[in-house]
Structure formats: structure tokens, C-alpha cells
Amino acid sequence: MSVNYTVRNSLKFRIGDEERGQVFKALIKHPMETGLRRDRRTNAFVPADYIRDLSVHVDNQLCFALVWNENVSKNPFLTFAFSPPIHEGQTIRVAWTDNLDRTMAHETVIKFSPQGFFAFDGQGDGQPEVTETVKVVPLSKKDQPACDKQVSD
Amino acid sequence: MRQPSEQRRRLLQAGLAAPLISTLPVIAHAAVRPNAHVLPIPATIQQAAAQYFGEPLTAVMTSSSIALKVPSIAENGAVVPVTVMGDSGIVTELAVFVEKNRQPLAGICRLHNRTDLNVGFRLKLSRTSDVYVIAKTADGLIGERQAVKVTIGCMGG
């Protein structure tokens, strides 16, 4: 279980009870580049960089496996429900691999807070996420992306 | 700032050196064909089902076993929440597609013993298109589709 994606706080998840059962919600910090976007300054394509597969294991048993590609949003959010619900003392492991072969995994033992949920708020160590500060230049009319402008049709 | 641009240059160099065709690593738990990423892009939902699952669709759009919840007008095309709900006793695997994206396949979920079919994540839509989900059941494949209008935040350029 090697980990080589070291952005700080790159995984946050929470297990709590909702009407639809015991729900697992995770927010992963990842650029999820499609490979189709152009860098505004160099006009070259920003290379594709997206999470490819993700798996959740409870007590070393695979519970949920997900295969994603570039069509998933940046900083992906994931939610699903456990049934039967997980109880305290079980180990949960969330692991993902991206298309540049970086891996991230985190394993932790569940311990519910007095309010009845379990939250993991990210790894404290690691590099901070690199955010590029680019001066935003408004696009001219012809450079605007081709979106549907009308809402009612 | 000097640092981010150097990192970007290194990323670009690494991106050019990467192989042209990206192949999906063989995942032991996925019943969907492992070479899903290199197959030609399907034009219709029928082709998508045939390619990724190898079976024709038995029921399209009207199926009570799964429900697809996606907003009909997306505020931001880069973040469109999709939720698939249904009976996990019947459905073992599902694939979400966005019809008019460059690569229609958006995600494949495989459910194992402890999970309920109540899966959600967020998609990127490049333009107004249909989002559809194809689920694999014991009796065949079922599909559900929903049109999503995108007004701002389209992918592409």
C-alpha cells in the first residue's frame, strides 16, 4: 500500500446516519484534468490527470470499487450507503490510483463521536496543494466556450 | 510566481512523454471489459451497453429497479451531481455515461457485500447532453436517462 500522492489534506470522509441509511461521503482533493483544457498562457494542453480507480475496504474486504475517468469533476465528491451499517472498531481503508500512477491510501479504525458520526478530516502532513495564481483576462467574444445560452427551450 | 510555472513545465514534459493510448489497468473486481478506455467512443446508448458490458439493453428508460437523479438544468457544467439509487439486491454493477462528452463513459461502480445502491458523484459536462446510467442485473442490462441543460461552465475551449 504505497502512497505517493502527498498533497496535504487530500482526503476527507465522513460516515454518518441519514434517512437513506449509513452514508459514506468523501471529498478528495485532486485536479481531475481532462487533458482537453489549454493552459491560458502557453496554449498547450494541460495533461490529463484524473483518478482512475478508487476502492473502499472494510475489514480488508472490498466493499465498493469505482472506476472513474476524466469526466468526473475536480476535487471529486463521492457518496454511497453502507448496509448493514458499519460499527465501531472496524477498519476502513480508502485507496485510489490515478492515471499518472500516483496512489493514495488511508486506513483508519472507526470510532464514532458522541454525535454519532465518524469524520476523517485529512492527513495533516504533506505538501500543500499547488494553486496557480494566473491573472484572469476576460475572454473576447469569439473565445467564449460554446455553451447553450438559452435556459428555456 | 516562479515555482508553479516550473512545476507546470515539468508536468507538460511528463505529459508529452506519456504513452498516447492510455489503457485501463486490469482490475480484478471489474466485470466491465478491462480495455474500456481504448474502445471506440459509442454513438448511442445501445452501443455503449454493447461495448462496455457486451450485452444488448433489455429495458431502456422505464425501469423501477434503478432511479437516476440528476438536475435537469445544471448550474455549473463542471460540477453536475448525479445520484443513482436502487435495489442493490438486483443490481451488481453500474456505469454512468455522459452522451456528448468526448469520452462518454464517466464512471463504473461495482458494489460488493456491504454497500447499498445509493451512489453519487459529480460529473463534468461539456455541453447540454443526456446523462444515462446502465446497470447490470441478473436478468440483463437496464438503463435510465435524463437530459441535462448546461448554461455556464462548459468544459472545453
Instruction: Convert the pLDDT of each residue in A55-71 to its tens digit.
Output: 999 998 998 999 998 89
Q: Mean pLDDT across the stretch A109-125?
A: 78
pLDDT at A151 over 50: no
List, as one string, the DSSP characters of chain A.
------BTT-EEEEEEEETTEEEEEEEE----B-S-PBPTTT-PBPPPB-EEEEEEEETTEEEEEEEE-TTBPSS-EEEEEESSPP-TT-EEEEEEEETT--EEEEEEE----TTS-EEE---S-SBPPP-------PPPGGGS------S--
**pLDDT (0 to 100) of residue B19:** 39
Within an 8 Å CB–CB cutoff, is residue A79 touching chain B? yes
- Distance (Å) from the C-alpha of residue A124 to the closest C-alpha of chain B? 22
Out of A69, A82, A83, the one facing B37 most closely (by C-beta) is A69
Mean pLDDT, range A32-49, rounded to an integer: 85
Whether B7 shows a pLDDT value over 60: the answer reads no
Whole-structure pTM over 0.80, yes or no?
no
A34 and B CB contact within 8 Å: yes
Secondary structure element (H or E) that encloses residue B122, with its range = strand B115-123
Position A78 scores a pLDDT of 94
User: A130: which chain B residues are within 8 Å (Cβ-Cβ)?
Assistant: 3-4, 7
To test the contact with chain B by mutation, choose from A25, A57, A80, A150 the residue with the greatest count of B C-beta atoms within 10 A, namely A80
pLDDT tier at B43 (50, 70, 90 boundaries)? low
| Closest by CA position to B41, among listed B104, B116, B135 | B104
**Which of B32, B80, B94, B121 to mutate to test binding with chain A, by most A CBs within 10 Å of its CB?**
B121
How near does any CA of chain B get to the CA of A46, in Å? 7
HSE of B111, CA atoms in CB hemisphere, 13 A? 27
Confidence band for B79, pLDDT divided at 50, 70 and 90? very high
- Report which residue type is found at B39: L
Buried-exposed string B9-47: b where 16+ CB fall within 10 A, e elsewhere: eebbeebeeeeeebebeebeebebeeebbeeeebeebee
Comparing A21-35, A42-56, A114-128, the range with the smallest average pLDDT is A114-128
Q: Does A149 touch chain B (CB under 8 A)?
A: yes
Label residue A152 by pLDDT band (50, 70, 90).
very low
Phi, psi of B33 (to 5 degrees): -55, 135
Question: Cβ–Cβ of B15/A45 closer than 8 Å?
Answer: yes
The per-residue pLDDT for A73 is: 92
Contact A59, A91 (CB under 8 A): yes
Instruction: Flag whether residue A116 sits within 8 Å of chain B, measured between CB atoms.
Output: no
* A62, A70, A77 ranked by CB distance to B29: nearest: A62
Question: What is the rounded CA–CA span in Å between residue B95 and residue B68?
Answer: 12
Question: What confidence category does residue B10 fall into, taking pLDDT thresholds of 50, 70 and 90?
Answer: low
pLDDT category at B20 given cuts 50, 70, 90 is: very low
CA separation for the pair A18, A26 (Å, rounded): 15
Q: Which residues of A102-111 are buried (b: 16+ CB within 10 A; e: fewer)?
A: bebbbeeebe
DSSP state of B153: -
Closest Cβ–Cβ partner in A63, A72, A79 for B107:
A72
Phi, psi for residue A131 in degrees, rounded to 5:
-115, 125
Chain A residue numbers with beta carbons less than 8 Å from the beta carbon of B22 are 48, 99
Sign of CA dihedral A104, A50, A28, B134: negative
**Which one, of B111, B100, B93, B84, lies nearest residue B149 by Cα?**
B100
Which residues on chain B are in Cβ contact (under 8 Å) with A146? 127, 154, 156
* Mutation for A interface: B8, B39, B115, most A CBs within 10 A: B115
A34 closest CB neighbour out of B85, B110, B155? B155
**When comparing pLDDT for A119 and A153, which is higher?**
A119
Confidence band (pLDDT; 50, 70, 90) for A72?
very high
Amino acid A55: pLDDT: 92
